[in-house]
Structure formats: structure tokens, C-alpha cells
Structure 1
């Protein structure tokens, strides 16, 4: 059996629900060998939920350490500042022949806003070099500079993001469009697909990270892009459905 190496360029979630923890768990469940380059640490302080970017040189050294690893895919998560984002982009440009999934994190569930104005422009530079981007509704609003209130708005946002250079887009609508359904819109420049699952409001921290890393995993395993998105959507739904308050998936833990 082929052992595939897959990289997560993502941050540390102090609560271990999202970020690199979600990525590595997802890779393992999919039978892949996961690696990680850590972009930041997080902590809850008197200032609230804070993000501490990895030192530029340390992050560069991490990526240089991995340059001889034969990766079959990459998932990009939280890039906390311009310096880290620039180094990550350089790395991606050197690996354009493999699937790359960009989760353009501009806001966190903990309501911490990452530096938006500069980082938004930097994230747009990734679009031509990645296979698919997976913004949530708020991130799609920030990237497109458009308000999203309806399913048609969600489709229009996906189209704008494609026109900005993204080859394929899935915009996660979440609960803001439908109180009972988690609606996502997929767009590849030719057709729209709406994916809908019953909305699960409990234990969903890390859902976006897991979704993106599940897509990356499926792409590495050879799935076409839309099939990878569909499989990832189901994967996240099942993971939340069977999880406890700490995000531990009881279904997979018992297998």
C-alpha cells in the first residue's frame, strides 16, 4: 500500500479542536502520513483569544526542513501575518504539481479577527496556485467585499472568487442562510452545486479545518475535486454527529 505524505501549514489551537490537531487527525483517519509546519500559537489571555505568529525565521526553517519530503498534497490554514503568508506562498509555488487546499482563515469561531486588510490582499495571491479555496461566509464577504444574505449571494460570491483567480471554490454558508441546514456552494467556473446537511450546532469547533483537510486527503487519494468536497462534507457531518464536547469523535475512537 502506498504511503502518502501530506502537509498541513496551520496553527496551534490551544483547545486542540481546530488547526493542526484537526488536520493531523483527519490525515490519520484517511490513512495518510501527516506533517505540519506551525504558523502560530494561541492562548486565552486577559485580552481574550490571542494569536501569536511563529517567528519568521523559525517558520522559514520549518519549511526548509521539509523540502526533501515527497508530499502528495498540502492544506493551508491560518496564516497570521504577512511574513508567514509570504513564506507559505513561496513554498506553494514550488509545489504546484500536487493538490493544494487553501482555507483562507480571516476569522475564528472564538470571534478573533485576524489582521484582515493586508492579509486579504496576500491571500488573493494564493488563488492561482491552489486547487480549491474553502472560505466560510464571513471570509467570503471579506474577500469579495460583498454582503451575503441569500443563497444567490453565496453563488455570486463563489463566482467572484473564481474570477479573482481561484480555480475551484466552495463557500461554506453555515447557519446564517438556513437555521436548519448547513448550506455550502461549490463552483468550478462552469457549474454550481449546493451541498446541504442538517445543521449540527454542538461540538463544531474545528469543522472548517477538518473540512479543508478532508478535501485535501481525498484529493491525495485520487478523488475528483467535487467528489472530494462531497466526501469531506459527509466526513465533517459524521465527525460532529459522533463527537463529545472536546471534539473527540467517539465513532472513530471506537473503531
Structure 2
């Protein structure tokens, strides 16, 4: 007996430690019973303690992967993660438009949750002008939201204003993530879609093993979109999934372990 599940495509970097990037995305897709496909943008040598090396793929190689998947298999949703440089970002944006791909979740991997900038200013500008307007849902963290909105974000009201500012860049909806916030606003997200301004909060899980939470959230949103969920419902369900994965975070390695993507299978 054959089966035809929905298909999602992740366009992102590889994490050799298995906690984030392509590896986290494919685990998340599989959990949601969505067939996962991938286009690698870069290869990293990393583990729970950090990233030791990053090698970018040529933009032509990224394009070839996307075309190979879409031309044969087709995709119902796309998630973009670490795109690394301006040339790759431009290539991905061109492919999304040319192939008319829908349900695009853009995780604008520009700044880490601790505030370290991960791509250069030229890449940020290309992301802003070429890719973000194609997003069905954009998921910036606090520091990325500060760059995109031009605001300093210290409070819930500033998160709300940032979401509204970022919406003006052209995405269909913005989810400003509060994982980098302090105190009562830690883990509280803000949604804005041009009409609906919502505060999204789930249970706060106390764990130091949070590697891959951003990748996992955006992948879960994409998976739910592939399953024909409306965008806001996809976000709510994705948040619940990440909360459960954090409850079963993995204590592996010497540093920050990953979330437990397959928590339902753990004893």
C-alpha cells in the first residue's frame, strides 16, 4: 500500500551535531508525518559546544537542489534557515519566485539568541529586500527584530511595535520570538498579520538544553502549513510542539544539548 504525505522543503545549513539546521528540520517534519526534503546552503562542523567551521555551498548547488526536489516531488511548504551570504539569499529568493512556491516560513538567521551577528550587513540587506517580502510567516528573534524594526526591544509593547514595523517589509505575517527576552517576557512571542495582533505564550521550561529551538519552531510551522493549517493555527501548534520538545531536551555532549524532537518515543 502506497502513501502520499505532504512534502516540506528546508533550505538551510547542516549541523553536524544533529541539534539544529537541516537535521532538526527533517526530524521535525517527520514527527508531523510530513515528508522532508532539503537543500543545503552550508556545511558546519559543530557540536554542543559551538561552531568550529562553516563552508558555504555555491549558489548554483543550492539552486540545483531546490530544482531537483520541486521538479519531481513538489512541495507544499518551505522553510528557510541559515542562508549565510548575499549570493545564496538572492538565489533562494529567485527560486521561490520562479517556482511560485507557497507557504514559505522564513527564519531570518542573522543574529544568535545571545546577540552575536551571524551574517554580514550585505546579506542582511539582501534578506530584507529580496526574501522577507516572500514570507508567509517571518520568525525573527529579539535581536533580529531589533535590526529589522529599527527599535530597541525591552518590553512587550516594544515587541508588539516591532512586529508591526517589520510587517511593513512585506511578509504576510510576523512572529517576533521572545526567547531572548528577560524576566516575565522570556519565551513570550508576538504575532502580527496586518489585522491580528496576538501575544502567544506557552509554558516556560527551565532547561539549558535549548539548541535548535528556533530552527525547530520554524520547521514545525512549515510542517503545519503543509498539512493545510491556517498560519496562526500553525504557529500555535508549532509552539506546543517546541514546548514538549524542551520538556524532553537531550542531555548529550559537554555543552548545550538539543531539544528532544522525538519526545513521543522517549521512555
Provide the TM-score with structure 2 as the length reference: 0.87
Q: Is the 8 A contact 2:166 2:174 kept in 1?
A: yes
Question: Once structures 1 and 2 are overlaid, which stretch shifts more, 59-68 or 159-168?
Answer: 59-68
* Gap runs ≥5 in structure 1: none
Large movers: runs of 4+ above 6 Å: none
Distance 2:53 2:188 in 1: 29
Distance 2:41 2:79 in 1: 12
Q: Is the 8 A contact 2:15 2:46 kept in 1?
A: no
The aligned residue for residue 212 of structure 2 is 206
**Which structure 2 residues correspond to residues 137-156 of structure 1 after superposition, within 5 A?**
137-156=142-161
Q: Is the 8 A contact 2:113 2:143 kept in 1?
A: no
Distance 1:48 1:23 in 2: 18
CA offsets 1:54-76 (integer angstroms, 9 cap, x no match): 12332232223224121111000
The aligned residue for residue 29 of structure 1 is 31
Distance 2:113 2:14 in 1: 14
The aligned residue for residue 54 of structure 1 is 57
Distance 1:48 1:214 in 2: 24
Distance 1:42 1:111, change over 3 A: farther
CA RMSD of aligned residues (A): 2.2
Which of 251, 258, 261 matches 1:245? 251
The aligned residue for residue 120 of structure 1 is 124
**Which structure 2 residues correspond to residues 39-118 of structure 1 after superposition, within 5 A?**
39-43=41-45, 49-68=52-71, 69-96=73-100, 98-108=102-112, 113-118=117-122
Q: Is the 8 A contact 2:210 2:246 kept in 1?
A: yes
Shift of 1:51: 2.6
Provide the TM-score with structure 1 as the length reference: 0.91
The aligned residue for residue 9 of structure 2 is 7
Name the SS of the counterpart of 1:6 in structure 2.
Answer: strand
Question: Once structures 1 and 2 are overlaid, which stretch shifts more, 59-68 or 182-191?
Answer: 59-68
Shift of 1:166: 1.5
Distance 1:228 1:235 in 2: 11
CA offsets 1:155-177 (integer angstroms, 9 cap, x no match): 11100110111210000011424
Count of matched residue positions in the alignment of Structure 1 and Structure 2: 254
